[in-house]
Structure 1
Amino acid sequence: MKHFTRLAAAAVVGAVMGTAAVAQELYAPNLSYRTGPFAATGIPLMNGQRDYMLMLNARDGGIGGVPVNFEECETGYSTEKGVECYEKTKGRAIVTQPWSTGITLQVLPKTNVDEIPILAPGYGFSPMADGKVFQWAFNTPASYWDAASMIVQYLEAEGSLEGKKIAFLHLDHPYGKEPLPLLEKLSADKGFEMVPIPVGLKEMQNQSAQWLQIRRERPDYVVMWGWGAMNAGAITEAVKTKFPMENFIGVWWAGHDADLKIVGADGAGYKSISWSYPVLDAPVLADIKQHVVDAGDSMSNPEEMEGVFYNRGLVISMILAEGIKAAQEHTGNAEITAADLRWGLENLNITEERLAELGMTGMVPPFQTTCANHTGHSGGWMLEWDGEKFVKVSDLLMADAEVIQPLEAEKAAEYAEANAPWAVSETCDAES
């Protein structure tokens, strides 16, 4: 019955739009990185994204009756190659998915000219939340400043941070430096000392110098903004040096199952903030098995498909698909333009009811975007490694908007001034 209802609904959408019969494809390229030093974390994310779109194509004929072309352009996480991929794909693309804060920052100045929305779920430049200034950029459903705020909130629940010391172990890359403005403000406001400890790209697998510094500093907590091989290197080093794992917390890109499986039970207590969660009996996973895995079209495997990152990839493609769907319904056209998709992405309304319809209840918190709010600020959960898997150890945490929003506005204005002339929306209501 559910299958009939889904097909009937798709037929109605196609009939209303009228263009589905002659529609060609929705070109939504992904700037992937299945190679290079970050491949271990990139592959499960790319596989999840890809499987969700393949499932929509096989089950529903695409979105609104139009197949999705989810072509990948390999960057190896290189900013230079990422910009090349952007230039190569932008002629037909309705979206750019940069998959690196460095690539995002390089593409961002082009957005007002090229008018192609950037979709950077949970990454990129945090002030992109300000839709009045960044009309073409989206970091739904939560920003890096949201992550830093939620981590500090979680630590505060353990006791006052006044006089405490937090080591900030981070990749020495635009991604790793992104939360610094908010962490510096929170450090001043809450009275804790923050000790930045950068990890160079060539040091990711050998962090003995960084962990020697951590031993000398004797911090109360280590907060990690790691990625790829850096995460496994840090977790292994923490176990070796007997750092208390319950005081070690990572951002959502430092919560990869495979990295913790290297140390197994010795990693128990390690935590990671997350805006997504794998719900292994979710109906969407059954549909993916039926339409993609059983058809032999998936690049994933059963172990990976149980992990946080694969399932986050599903959520990321769902966000894009819902933006496309909203744009189709708004315009009445099945084949939408990049400008149409911008409207769709700033009118997302991912409610509990909608998540249930998508078969994704519990996989991401509900969130809503607007013309002025391009992030949605969904909140997230603290996950903890129990020795075998990540489990939720908190209720939904929400970032402190009173602290973050003024900083977003300030840094967005600085960006616009530094990149003048910069088009700012005059019609977007700041309260919307």
Structure 2
Amino acid sequence: MKKLTSFAAAAVMAITAGAASAEGLSTPNLSYRTGPFAATGIPLMNGQRDYMLMLNARDGGIGGVPVDFSECETGYSTEKGVECYEATKGDAIVTQPWSTGITLQVLPKTNVDEIPILAPGYGFSPMADGSVFNWAFNMPGSYWDAASMILNEISGNDLSTLSGQKIAFLHLDHPFGKEPLPFLENMAEEHGFELLPIPVGLKEMQNQSAQWLQIRRERPDYVVMWGWGAMNAGALTEAVKTRYPMDQFLGVWWSGHDGDMEALGEAGTGYRSISYSAPQPDAQVMADIREYVFDKGDSLATESELDWVFYQRGLVISAMLAEGIKTAQDHFGEGEITASQLRWGLENINLTDERLAEMGMTGMVAPFSTSCSNHTGHAGGWMLQWNGSEWEVASDHLMPDSEAIRPLEVAAAAEYAEANAPWPIADCE
């Protein structure tokens, strides 16, 4: 373990030092390759990094301008994350916090620093309201989107069928884990099901016997997990021990890690995870990653990792950022864009089927677009299901219930702005 930790730390230092001397578009990533969430952070960061390396090697960067993709290690610590933000914001055109806790701390700062936050599929769900959160983006879907799609899946798209049922919400006792509670509580009250929140403390992630004793006692119809890192492995192991039906156990898109499921093997069969991305091993972008990065020995990923959901999601995340940069370059006619210009680019993304095909990413993320008022895109996603040896796409394309989510977004955004007054509001008409 000491050797592994030392290797990970050295790798992070090498990545950061190597990128620090680069020139071009500064897109720092507040990564976590160490700590209790490293197992899930590493493949995501590897995918993000490899996509930018591929663009640099294949295209000379974006619009001919190299991408400086440096990493600042946070260990998923909010305090370290804020330090990393301050240390990297100087010439950055974007910040990527990689934690809901860090995102919430950095959010007010970005209005002053005028640097866009890119928090794909995480952060504060009301950031979808771009008129209030001018500098924050959580495309292609928010946590409320994820919760909505999970409820739609288990109810057959009719939430009234959940009336009288009990849903346990097993979640990390952290801003990330608490984020979907307002939406879930609202839906429980409206549709008559019982929501049973079961928090898991950071020190309990690997020993959840008390939580699963409660689940055995309560006998919920479904367990919905908002887990991350070591919590996921702990919960899945306990579910197997207690013989909880795996087809009644579902997780958010950060609770669908290949490494965790491979350790369970056949015992995990039936477990589902909502996902805004879908692995496509035969996609053209994967061939390009191999040719320009992996086969040259420039990747930190292993061979088996290339097919993992999280690695390929990392590619999708960097591709969305690259598309925002390209959109801004095309609009402003400049290669070396500013953070303010990138903000415009991120809120004018239009990822159509045709554009995804051009990028070699067909099927890896659903088409979506953003706007001044919509910083999330609400692309929807798919339910992935573990078949005992790998993930399978087990649903048609799913969409969140925007009619239920939008009023909550607007109300929560307005409440946030009032609590943090004076807060700038954009005119998105």
The alignment's TM-score, normalised by the length of structure 2, stands at 0.94
For residues 363 and 278 of structure 1, what CA distance do their matches in structure 2 show? 6
CA RMSD, Structure 1 to Structure 2 (Å): 0.9
Partner of 1:340: 341
Q: CA deviation at 1:222?
A: 0.1
Residue type of the alignment partner of 1:208: S
Matches within 5 A, 1:324-403: 324-403=325-404
Matched, 1:147 2:146: yes
Partner of 1:235: 236
Deviations 1:245-294 (A, max 9, x none): 00000000000111111110010000000000110000000000000011
**Helix, strand or coil for the counterpart of 1:262?**
helix
Partner of 1:263: 264
Matches within 5 A, 1:210-359: 210-359=211-360
The alignment's TM-score, normalised by the length of structure 1, stands at 0.93
Residue type of the alignment partner of 1:279: Q
Deviations 1:50-75 (A, max 9, x none): 00000000000000000000000000
Matches within 5 A, 1:126-145: 126-145=125-144
Q: CA deviation at 1:189?
A: 1.2
Residue type of the alignment partner of 1:124: G
Residue type of the alignment partner of 2:73: E
The verdict on how the C-alpha distance between 1:44 and 1:418 changes in structure 2, with shifts beyond 3 A counting, is same
Residue type of the alignment partner of 2:31: S
Deviations 1:183-234 (A, max 9, x none): 0011011111000000000000000000000001100000000000000000
Partner of 2:15: none
Residue type of the alignment partner of 2:194: E
Q: CA deviation at 1:24?
A: 4.5
Partner of 2:194: 193
**Helix, strand or coil for the counterpart of 1:223?**
strand
Partner of 2:75: 76
**Helix, strand or coil for the counterpart of 2:196?**
strand
For residues 113 and 293 of structure 1, what CA distance do their matches in structure 2 show? 39
Q: CA deviation at 1:158?
A: 8.3
Partner of 1:4: none
Matched, 1:63 2:57: no
The verdict on how the C-alpha distance between 1:158 and 1:248 changes in structure 2, with shifts beyond 3 A counting, is farther
Q: CA deviation at 1:302?
A: 1.3
Partner of 2:103: 104
For residues 55 and 234 of structure 1, what CA distance do their matches in structure 2 show? 36
For residues 220 and 361 of structure 2, what CA distance do their matches in structure 1 show? 39
For residues 167 and 123 of structure 2, what CA distance do their matches in structure 1 show? 23
Partner of 1:87: 86
Partner of 2:47: 48
**Helix, strand or coil for the counterpart of 2:224?**
strand
For residues 288 and 320 of structure 2, what CA distance do their matches in structure 1 show? 17
Residue type of the alignment partner of 2:416: Y
Deviations 1:106-158 (A, max 9, x none): 00011111100000000000000000000000000000000000000001118
For residues 386 and 302 of structure 2, what CA distance do their matches in structure 1 show? 21
Deviations 1:289-344 (A, max 9, x none): 00001111000011111110000000000000000000000110000000000000
Matched, 1:114 2:113: yes
Gaps of 5+ in 2: 1-21
2:382–2:398 Cα contact (<8 Å) kept? yes
For residues 245 and 23 of structure 2, what CA distance do their matches in structure 1 show? 55
**Helix, strand or coil for the counterpart of 2:31?**
coil
**Helix, strand or coil for the counterpart of 1:263?**
helix
2:23–2:68 Cα contact (<8 Å) kept? no
**Helix, strand or coil for the counterpart of 1:194?**
strand
For residues 263 and 49 of structure 1, what CA distance do their matches in structure 2 show? 27
For residues 205 and 145 of structure 1, what CA distance do their matches in structure 2 show? 26
For residues 218 and 233 of structure 1, what CA distance do their matches in structure 2 show? 19
The percent of aligned pairs where both chains have the same amino acid is 73
**Helix, strand or coil for the counterpart of 1:29?**
coil
For residues 183 and 336 of structure 1, what CA distance do their matches in structure 2 show? 40
Residue type of the alignment partner of 1:84: E
Matches within 5 A, 1:156-171: 156-157=155-156, 160-171=161-172
Residue type of the alignment partner of 1:114: D
For residues 246 and 25 of structure 1, what CA distance do their matches in structure 2 show? 48
Write out the 4+ residue segments of structure 1 that deviate beyond 4 Å after TM superposition: none
Matched, 1:32 2:31: yes
Partner of 1:3: none
For residues 24 and 50 of structure 1, what CA distance do their matches in structure 2 show? 16
Q: CA deviation at 1:368?
A: 0.4
Q: Which moved more, 1:256-265 or 1:312-321?
A: 256-265
2:34–2:75 Cα contact (<8 Å) kept? yes
**Helix, strand or coil for the counterpart of 2:335?**
coil
For residues 376 and 317 of structure 2, what CA distance do their matches in structure 1 show? 13
Partner of 1:20: none
Gaps of 5+ in 1: 1-22
Partner of 1:17: none
Q: Which moved more, 1:125-134 or 1:256-265?
A: 256-265
Residue type of the alignment partner of 2:414: A
